[in-house]
Structure 1
Amino acid sequence: MLIPGQNKLAEPEIVEVPRFETLLEQFKQTAVDYIAQGDAELATRVAETLESESEVFTKLVEASVVMLQAERRYKNAQIKQMLAWWAEGSNLDARVADLGLERQTISEGDPNAFPPVPAEMEEDERLRLRYFLAPHAPAAGSRLHYRAEGLTLSDRAKVTVEAPSEGEVVIRYLFEPDSWAAQVKDVKARRTQPGEVTVAVLGREGDGTPSAELLDAERAHFDRDDVRPETDEVIVKAATILPYQIRAVAYIYPGPDSVLTEDAAIDRLQAYADEQHALGGSVEPSWIYHHLHESGAVKIDLLEPLAAISADWDEAPYCSAIEIEVLTL
C-alpha cells in the first residue's frame, strides 16, 4: 500500500508540460498550416519570418508559447488538487469527504481574543494519511486497521444492531463528540504474541509522550465491540521516545549572510526533525548534511548525531535542540 510521507508517487502524465522548444515548433507549424489554407504564398513568407529570431513577429509567437505553458501549468495544478495524493486545504477536505472524513480540530482557538486566535486544524499530511487508511478500517486484525482506529479514535459512529420485533432490524449510528483523536500524532500496532496485539501511541504534545488520559481513551476505544476483533487482546502503551540533539558547525564563504544561513539551516533541520518524529522514524546524518549544504554551508563539522538513529516500530526520535554555529572560511 502507498502511504503519504513514506512512499513517493510520480506525477501522472496528464500534468506534464511539453518543452518550450517542442511547443514553439508546434505553434509555428500550426500557424503556417492555417495560413496556407487561404494563401500559400503568405504562408511561405510567414514561415521564413519565423525562422528569424530578430523578427518582432517571432518574439510575439515565442511570448505566446510562454503564456501557453503558464496556462498549462495552472490547469495542471488544478488537476492535481482533485487527486488526494496532492490535494491541499479545502480541496483535500472535499476529497476526504468522499469517505465520510473531516478535518479534526486540534485547538478551538479564541475568536473573542484581541487579536483573535484562530483555531488550529489538523494538518494536510495527517488528514491525507487517514484518508488512505480509511478503506482498511473494516479489515479486522490488520496493522492498517489498528493504525486507522488508533488515529481516529471515537471520530466514527458507534454501531448497534437490534431486532426489537419479528421481521424488524434496527441499526443505530451514535456519534459522540470527542477531541482525543486530535491529540494523537501516530499509532502503530504489532502482534507481540499469539492472541495479543500491542498498540503504541505517539502524542502531539512535547516529545510525544501521550498522557495517561489519552492512553485511557485509546484503551476504551479498542474495547468497543465494533472495533476490537474477538481474537485479539489489545494492549495500549506509550511510544518510547528517543531524544537527540542536532549540533553542527557550518562554514560559509566570507559575506553578510551568516545570519541567513543559520536561520535557513535551523528551519530546514526543524522541518526534517518534525517529519521524523514518528513511530519508526529514522534520523540520518546524511540528510543533516544535505539540509546544511542546501542552506548555504560549504563545509560542515557535524557534532551530533554522529550515527543514524533508527527507531523501532514503537519508538520515535525526538529532537530536543538544534544548535548551528556559522563560521566563515
Structure 2
Amino acid sequence: MTDYIANDLDRSRLSLPKLVDDDYDTIEAERLAALKAGYEARGLGWDTGQTKWEPGVILEQHDADREQRDRRSINDAVKAWSIDDTWGEFLDVLGAGVFCIRRVIGTDANGNPVMEEDEEYRRRIKLAPATLSQAAPGNYEYFASSVHPEIKHARIVGIDGPRINLALLGRYGDGTPSAGAVAAVHNYVYDAANHAKLGTDVPQFTGAGVLTYQIAVHLLLPRGPSKAAAIAEATTRLQAMADRRHLLGASVGRDRIQANALVAGAEAAVILSPAADIKPTLGEVAYCTDIAVTAEVVDV
C-alpha cells in the first residue's frame, strides 16, 4: 500500500483549456478581414476599414462584442465543469457522477438543513474514486470524512504494515472531535456490511492534535485612511485566512499572515505574533485563539 497524495494536489493552479479564443481584438480583426474579403470577392474595393465612422466597421465592432460575450460564455462553461473551479449546483452534479452527495452537517435556528460548504464537499469528491478499491488509502479518508457530520477533515498520518493511522478533525471549537464522532467512524468502517475496509487492514482513528497560536499585527498607515476601517478589514481577512487553514497538516506562514494583513492603503504590516511559521504535522491542526490588530499613522 502506497502513500496517498491527492490532498497535496492543487489542480486549480493549472491553466484551464479554452475551447475558443475570446480576445476581442482577435475577433474584431477576423471579422473585418472577412468583411474586406467579401467586398473584394464581389469586385468592390474597400479601403476605409480604419475610418472611425465607417458603417461596416461599426457593425463589425458591435458584432465582435456580442461574439466575445458568446465565446466567454462557452469558456465559462468549461470552468463550471472543472472540479477545482466550479461551485454550487454544478459541483453537486460533479459529485453525483462519483456517487458523492453534499452532506447535511446540521440545522439552522429555523430547523432548516445546513449543507457542507463547497470546499469541504470538493475535497470529498476528489477522494470518492478511491472507494472503488478497498486497498486504496484514500478509501479510508473518504469514509472517515463522510460518515459523521461533525468530522470535516480526515488524513492518513502513517501506514505500518496492515496498521493505518488516521487523524480526524472536528467541525467545532479547536477541532477536537467528540468521542461519539470518532466511534461512529470506527464502527462504520469496521462494519463488514459497508465494504469500507480491506479484510487485512487495521485502520485506527484518533482526534487531531491541536497547535494553538495567536495573531498580532501592527499596521503602519499614511495620513488619510481610517484606522478603524483598516483594522476591521485586516481582522476580517485574517480570521478568514485562519478559518481556511484550519485543516489537518495546513501550515500558517508569517508571509501568509502579512499578505492578508496588508490591506489597501497600508504602508506596512508588522507581524508581532506568531514569531515563526506554524507547521503542524499531518495529524495536527493549527487553531487561532486570538487576532489582535493595531495601527498607527506615520509620515511617509
With normalisation by structure 1, the TM-score equals 0.80
1:66 has 2:33 as partner: no
Letter in 1 for 2:174: D
Question: Shift of residue 274 of structure 1?
Answer: 1.5
Amino acid at match of 1:107: G
Q: Tell me, what secondary structure is at the counterpart of 1:324? A: strand
In 2, the alpha carbon distance for the partners of 1:321 and 1:69 equals: 48
Q: Equivalent residue for 2:274?
A: 305
| Structure-1 separation of matches of 2:21 and 2:69 | 9
Confirm or deny that 1:147 pairs with 2:141: yes
Q: Is the 8 A contact 1:245 1:320 kept in 2?
A: yes
* Residue 91 of structure 2: aligned partner: 92
From 211, 214, 218, give the equivalent of 1:245: 214
Q: 1:293 to 1:52 in 2, by over 3 A?
A: farther
Shift of 1:105: 0.8
The answer to whether the 8 A contact 1:249-1:301 is kept is yes
Structure-2 change in CA distance of 1:22 and 1:256 (3 Å): same
Q: CA RMSD in A?
A: 2.4
Contact preservation (8 Å) 2:12, 2:85: no
Q: Distance in 2 between matches of 1:70 and 1:321?
A: 46
Q: Structure 2 matches for 1:1-329, cutoff 5 A?
A: 3=7, 6-15=10-19, 17-41=21-45, 44=46, 48-53=47-52, 58=57, 61-109=60-108, 113=110, 118-153=112-147, 180=148, 182-191=149-158, 193-225=160-192, 226-329=195-298
Q: Which of structures 1 and 2 has the larger relative contact order (alpha carbons within 8 angstroms, sep 6+)?
A: 2
CA distance in 1, matches of 2:34, 2:182: 66
Structure 1 unaligned regions, length at least 5: 154-179
Point out the more displaced range, 309-318 or 261-270. Answer: 261-270
Q: How does the TM-score come out when normalised to structure 2?
A: 0.87
Matched residues in 2 for 1:56 and 1:327: separation? 58
2:54 and 2:289 mapped to 1: Cα distance?
A: 62
Aligned to 1:176: none
Please tell me whether the aligned partners of residues 134 and 148 of structure 1 are also in contact (alpha carbons under 8 angstroms): yes
SS in 2 for 1:303: strand
Please state how far the C-alpha of 1:314 moved relative to its aligned partner: 0.3
**CA offset digits 1:24-62 (Å, max 9, x no partner):** 211211222223333522xx1xxx333134667645544
TM-superposed CA distance for 1:260, in Å, is 3.2
Q: Is the 8 A contact 1:289 1:300 kept in 2?
A: yes
* Distance of aligned partners of 1:53 and 1:259 in 2 relative to their CA distance in 1, 3 Å threshold: farther
Unaligned runs of 5+ in 2: none
Amino acid at match of 2:235: I
Per-residue displacement from partner, 1:215-253 (whole Å, max 9, x unpaired)?
111121222222222222222111001111111011122
Q: 1:58 to 1:138 in 2, by over 3 A?
A: closer
Rounded Cα–Cα distance in structure 2 between residues aligned with 1:79 and 1:95: 13
* Secondary structure in structure 2 of the residue aligned to 1:297: coil
Identity %: 24
Q: Secondary structure at the match of 2:266?
A: coil
